[in-house]
Amino acid sequence: MNNPLERLDGVGCPHLLVVGDLILDRYTWGNTERVSPEAPVLVMDADDEEARLGGAVSVALLARGLEAKVTVAGVVGCDASGQLMRDMLRDSEINTRLVVSDPRRPTTVKERFVGRASGRHSHQILRVDRERRNPLHVEVERILLGQIQKLLARTDAVLISDYGKGVCTSRLTADVIAAARKQGIPVIVDPCTSADYTMYAGAALLTPNRPEAERASGMAIEGRHQALAAAHRLCETYSVDAVLVTLDSQGMALGQADGSGEIVDAKTRSVYDVTGAGDMVLAMVGLGLAAYVPLIESVHLANRAAGLEVERFGIEPVRRQELQEELNGTPSSQKKIVSVDEMARCGQLYREAGQTVVLTNGCFDLMHVGHAAYLEEAAKLGQILVVAVNSDRSVQQLKGPGRPIIAQEDRARLLASLACVDHVVIFDEDTPHNLLREIRPDILVKGGTYGTNQVVGREVVKAYGGEVCVTGQTPGTSTTGIVTAIQNGTGLAQTKGAEHVS
């Protein structure tokens, strides 16, 4: 298969219309270390809140990240959550002119409360949903359908994201598919959990996951060949051009109405979070078909894009450049190097998943066995090890002229190549205080002869309930010792030998 990204680059930025249930995901985090005196329930001391785009708007966000022009069509309530969603979409450069307000129903909101014990080990303790699942009021349905039909002439593909919240009514869905098909516009549908796909008839592609495909086809899917058989049955039963059954780590099975099919293998990943994988498949296949990339090539692209998506927590867009690097075989170690802001977001998501984040910082100029030993020891303290590396400017400030010997980008890449290191961050301050406030590691660790009360930044970590730890030291190893040995024309092995003799 030729590189299909070249085709995408050739057509620029196709216009995608995303239709479906617009959902706002809210998160409240806090410590839960006591029981209420009023009832046998936990009390959360809330310390952070965040809102994220979910449902069809997460598909729109991912499509925008892939450099598509995106318009969202759906319904929100006349409330603060609806306004917040509009603002977030505009901030992401997603067109909201087809977002209709309906005073009869609230904006769909899923609010999750995530508690920590002793500042660590986050667990979701409650989810509160605010929604109406009944079909849209006939007048709202008429308005939304009319606006969608007017926009089709300027649309390259339609993506329908049906979460069963009432926006994708049988009439609206069937009419949108029929109108788009008449104009030669592909419609790709991520179906709801219904067992009846009649309203999706005429779609170019359905993308059910395994349980959804089992329910709609009436077939048990234990492996990829059963998934392929189910896809063919769905094509025949519901008159759709193709069905792509997503199977998580087992890959995908594509069945087409002409009887052809293909099984697409999934690349082995360090899976962090499968949230958003299905949305990424919908966004990427939609972009491919909008750009006239053949279906099977679009599916292969979607498979790789979804693989990148599961390597990050939450809904985080995958850029075309990242996908290009993935296809070109760019070393995965380079993907470990992230900005402070990116690491702060990842750190929060790791904690939500109950994983312990360990951070250590230093210059790491001329890596040696002492560094490797203490990093391996630090990694054993938790699930995620973050190494914060002083920038060239801050190393010079700390160590004086002539240092660093190795540039910051090369030091970061060398650290990222170590299996025990999960992320590398370059920071420019002379102390790690701001870095620690942003990332909030569960454990701050240093290697050497320090006492814990001598570790720089300890007060920041202890203030929010984190821990400070000091690992052991490998005798006779230091960057300064290596530099001195080189300057004196003596090998470090000779220097160590002399130390042992003495």
Catalytic: 442? no
Nearest to 119 by CA among 33, 27, 43, 26: 33
Residues 456-483 as b/e (b if ≥16 CB within 10 A, e otherwise) read ebbebbeeeebbbbbbeebebbbbebbe
Residue 385 has what DSSP assignment? E
Q: Which residues pair with 56 in a beta bridge?
A: none
Residue 68 has what DSSP assignment? -
- CATH 3.40.1190.20 residue ranges for the chain: 5-21+53-100+135-321
Assign 273 to helix, strand or coil.
coil
Instruction: Note the helical H segments in 270-354.
Output: 277-290, 295-309, 320-328, 340-352
pTM of the model: 0.72
Angle of helix 295-309 versus helix 277-290 axis, rounded to 10: 150
- CATH 3.40.50.620 residue ranges for the chain: 337-497
Structure tokens at 255: 């069945």
Phi first, then psi: what are they for 364, rounded to 5°? 55, 45
CA–CA separation, 227 and 238 (whole Å): 16
CB 3 within 8 A of CB 327: yes
Neighbours of 195 (CB within 10 A): 10
CB 124 within 8 A of CB 112: yes
What CATH architecture does domain 5-21+53-100+135-321 belong to? 3-Layer(aba) Sandwich (3.40)
Amino acid at 189: V
Q: What is the pLDDT of residue 400?
A: 81
Q: What is the pLDDT of residue 346?
A: 82
Q: What is the pLDDT of residue 498?
A: 37
Classify burial at 171, counting beta carbons within 10 Å of its beta carbon; exposed 0-12, middle 13-18, buried 19 or more.
middle
CB 280 within 8 A of CB 309: yes
Residue 318 has what DSSP assignment? P
Residues (pLDDT < 50) of the chain are: 1, 492-502
CA distances from 396 to 30, 110, 205, 399 (A): 39, 49, 57, 5
CA–CA separation, 148 and 19 (whole Å): 9
Q: What is the pLDDT of residue 447?
A: 81
CATH fold group of domain 337-497:
Rossmann fold (3.40.50)
From the list 190, 279, 365, 422, the catalytic residue is 279
Q: What is the pLDDT of residue 256?
A: 96
Q: What is the pLDDT of residue 211?
A: 95
Structure tokens at 269: 């990943």
Query: Count of residues for the chain?
Result: 502
State the DSSP string of 8-48: HHHH---EEEEEE-EEEEEEEEEEEEEE-SSSSSEEEEEEE
**Contacts of residue 373, Cβ cutoff 8 Å, sequence gap at least 6:** 447, 472, 474
Amino acid at 332: S
CA–CA separation, 24 and 112 (whole Å): 11
Instruction: Note the helical H segments in 310-387.
Output: 320-328, 340-352, 369-379
Amino acid at 167: V
Structure tokens at 176: 């949108």
State the DSSP string of 72-133: EEEEE-SSHHHHHHHHHHHHTT-EEEEEEE-TTSPPEEEEEEEEEETTEEEEEEEEEEE---
